[in-house]
Amino acid sequence: MKLITAIIKPFKLDDVREALSDIGVQGITVTEVKGFGRQKGHTELYRGAEYVVDFLPKVKLEVAVADGSVEQTLEAISKSANTGKIGDGKIFVSALEQVIRIRTGETGEEAI
Ligand SMILES: Nc1ncnc2c1ncn2[C@@H]1O[C@H](COP(=O)(O)OP(=O)(O)OP(=O)(O)O)[C@@H](O)[C@H]1O
Ligand SMILES: [Mg+2]
Protein backbone atom coordinates (compact mmCIF):
# COMPACT_ATOMS: atom_id res chain seq x y z
CA MET A 1 0.00 0.00 0.00
CA LYS A 2 1.07 3.58 -0.61
CA LEU A 3 0.13 6.90 0.88
CA ILE A 4 -0.10 9.44 -1.91
CA THR A 5 0.25 13.02 -0.75
CA ALA A 6 -0.39 15.71 -3.33
CA ILE A 7 0.06 19.44 -2.94
CA ILE A 8 -2.11 21.21 -5.48
CA LYS A 9 -3.53 24.59 -6.37
CA PRO A 10 -6.69 25.18 -4.32
CA PHE A 11 -8.86 25.98 -7.35
CA LYS A 12 -7.98 22.56 -8.80
CA LEU A 13 -9.47 20.65 -5.88
CA ASP A 14 -12.83 19.94 -7.54
CA ASP A 15 -11.19 18.70 -10.73
CA VAL A 16 -8.86 16.42 -8.80
CA ARG A 17 -11.65 15.10 -6.58
CA GLU A 18 -13.69 14.28 -9.67
CA ALA A 19 -10.77 12.56 -11.38
CA LEU A 20 -10.13 10.47 -8.28
CA SER A 21 -13.82 9.58 -7.91
CA ASP A 22 -13.85 8.49 -11.55
CA ILE A 23 -11.16 5.89 -10.90
CA GLY A 24 -12.92 4.61 -7.78
CA VAL A 25 -10.73 5.99 -5.03
CA GLN A 26 -12.34 5.08 -1.69
CA GLY A 27 -11.42 8.10 0.38
CA ILE A 28 -9.57 11.40 0.36
CA THR A 29 -8.35 13.66 3.15
CA VAL A 30 -8.02 17.34 2.32
CA THR A 31 -6.16 19.98 4.30
CA GLU A 32 -5.62 23.65 3.58
CA VAL A 33 -1.91 24.30 3.81
CA LYS A 34 0.66 26.89 2.89
CA GLY A 35 3.94 26.29 1.19
CA PHE A 36 6.51 27.33 -1.31
CA GLY A 37 8.49 25.63 -4.04
CA ARG A 38 11.49 26.66 -6.07
CA GLN A 39 10.29 30.19 -6.76
CA LYS A 40 9.81 30.63 -3.03
CA GLY A 41 6.35 32.03 -3.62
CA HIS A 42 7.63 35.32 -4.99
CA THR A 43 6.62 35.42 -8.62
CA GLU A 44 3.54 33.24 -8.45
CA LEU A 45 0.07 34.62 -8.92
CA TYR A 46 -2.84 33.52 -6.76
CA ARG A 47 -6.34 34.50 -7.90
CA GLY A 48 -4.86 37.19 -10.10
CA ALA A 49 -2.94 38.93 -7.36
CA GLU A 50 0.78 38.66 -6.82
CA TYR A 51 1.55 37.36 -3.39
CA VAL A 52 4.26 39.27 -1.58
CA VAL A 53 4.63 36.66 1.13
CA ASP A 54 6.73 33.53 0.87
CA PHE A 55 3.97 31.08 1.65
CA LEU A 56 1.18 30.49 -0.85
CA PRO A 57 -2.14 28.80 -0.11
CA LYS A 58 -2.19 25.22 -1.32
CA VAL A 59 -4.37 22.18 -0.75
CA LYS A 60 -2.91 18.93 0.52
CA LEU A 61 -4.62 15.73 -0.55
CA GLU A 62 -3.92 12.42 1.10
CA VAL A 63 -5.06 9.21 -0.54
CA ALA A 64 -4.25 5.71 0.65
CA VAL A 65 -4.26 3.20 -2.20
CA ALA A 66 -3.54 -0.45 -2.85
CA ASP A 67 -0.34 -1.16 -4.76
CA GLY A 68 -2.34 -2.02 -7.86
CA SER A 69 -3.93 1.43 -7.93
CA VAL A 70 -0.85 3.58 -7.51
CA GLU A 71 -0.12 4.31 -11.16
CA GLN A 72 -3.65 5.27 -12.15
CA THR A 73 -3.99 7.45 -9.05
CA LEU A 74 -0.78 9.31 -9.85
CA GLU A 75 -1.91 9.79 -13.44
CA ALA A 76 -5.35 11.03 -12.40
CA ILE A 77 -3.86 13.61 -10.02
CA SER A 78 -1.13 14.70 -12.44
CA LYS A 79 -3.53 15.27 -15.29
CA SER A 80 -6.33 16.95 -13.35
CA ALA A 81 -4.07 19.26 -11.32
CA ASN A 82 -1.93 20.39 -14.25
CA THR A 83 -2.20 23.94 -15.58
CA GLY A 84 1.29 24.05 -17.07
CA LYS A 85 2.15 27.07 -14.95
CA ILE A 86 4.53 27.30 -12.03
CA GLY A 87 3.15 26.23 -8.68
CA ASP A 88 1.09 23.30 -9.98
CA GLY A 89 2.37 21.26 -7.08
CA LYS A 90 3.99 17.96 -6.27
CA ILE A 91 3.04 14.42 -5.49
CA PHE A 92 4.82 12.43 -2.82
CA VAL A 93 4.50 8.66 -2.60
CA SER A 94 5.27 6.91 0.69
CA ALA A 95 5.17 3.31 1.81
CA LEU A 96 2.09 2.67 3.93
CA GLU A 97 2.59 0.02 6.60
CA GLN A 98 -0.92 -0.60 7.79
CA VAL A 99 -4.51 0.57 7.48
CA ILE A 100 -7.25 -0.24 9.98
CA ARG A 101 -10.91 0.40 9.28
CA ILE A 102 -12.09 1.29 12.75
CA ARG A 103 -15.75 0.24 12.46
CA THR A 104 -15.11 -3.25 11.12
CA GLY A 105 -11.64 -4.06 12.31
CA GLU A 106 -10.56 -4.86 8.74
CA THR A 107 -6.89 -4.34 8.04
CA GLY A 108 -4.60 -3.87 5.07
CA GLU A 109 -5.95 -3.39 1.55
CA GLU A 110 -9.42 -4.53 2.62
CA ALA A 111 -9.54 -1.57 4.98
CA ILE A 112 -8.74 1.01 2.32
N1 LIG B 1 10.54 19.77 -1.76
C2 LIG B 1 9.32 20.03 -1.26
N3 LIG B 1 9.01 19.57 -0.03
C4 LIG B 1 7.80 19.80 0.51
N5 LIG B 1 6.84 20.48 -0.10
C6 LIG B 1 7.09 20.94 -1.33
C7 LIG B 1 8.35 20.74 -1.97
N8 LIG B 1 8.30 21.31 -3.18
C9 LIG B 1 7.07 21.85 -3.30
N10 LIG B 1 6.35 21.63 -2.18
C11 LIG B 1 4.99 22.03 -1.92
O12 LIG B 1 4.31 22.08 -3.15
C13 LIG B 1 3.81 23.38 -3.38
C14 LIG B 1 3.90 23.69 -4.85
O15 LIG B 1 5.24 23.58 -5.25
P16 LIG B 1 5.62 24.05 -6.71
O17 LIG B 1 4.67 23.41 -7.66
O18 LIG B 1 5.75 25.53 -6.76
O19 LIG B 1 7.05 23.33 -6.87
P20 LIG B 1 8.23 23.84 -7.81
O21 LIG B 1 9.32 22.86 -7.62
O22 LIG B 1 8.51 25.27 -7.55
O23 LIG B 1 7.65 23.61 -9.27
P24 LIG B 1 7.26 24.77 -10.35
O25 LIG B 1 8.54 25.22 -10.94
O26 LIG B 1 6.36 24.08 -11.31
O27 LIG B 1 6.56 25.86 -9.59
C28 LIG B 1 4.62 24.28 -2.49
O29 LIG B 1 3.92 25.46 -2.15
C30 LIG B 1 4.86 23.40 -1.29
O31 LIG B 1 3.72 23.41 -0.47
MG1 LIG C 1 7.07 26.70 -7.81
> Based on the structure, what is the number of domains in the chain?
1
CATH number of the domain encompassing residue 56 = 3.30.70.120
Confidence of residue 39 (pLDDT cuts 50, 70, 90): confident
Task: Calculate mean pLDDT across residues 21-43.
Answer: 90
Taking the CA of residue 37 as reference, the ligand 1 atom at the shortest distance is 22
Query: 42: Cβ–Cβ under 8 A, 6 or more apart, which residues?
Result: 51, 54
Answer whether residue 38 shows pLDDT above 90: no
Q: Which of 39, 90, 92, 93 to mutate to test the pocket of ligand 1 (most atoms within 8 A of CB)?
A: 90
User: Could you tell me the strand order of the sheet in which 2-8 lies?
Assistant: 29-35, 56-65, 2-8, 90-95
Chain centroid to CA 6: how far? 3
Percent of the chain with pLDDT over 70: 88
Q: Is this structure's pTM higher than 0.85?
A: yes
The alpha carbon of 45 and the centre of ligand 1 are apart by a number of angstroms equal to 14
User: Could you tell me the residue range of the domain that residue 97 belongs to?
Assistant: 2-111
**79 membership: H or E segment, kind and range:** helix 70-81
Mean pLDDT over each residue of the chain, to the nearest integer: 93
Vertex 14: Cα angle to 89 and 22 (nearest 5) = 100
Is 56 a residue whose pLDDT tops 70? yes
Ligand nearest to C-alpha 35: 1
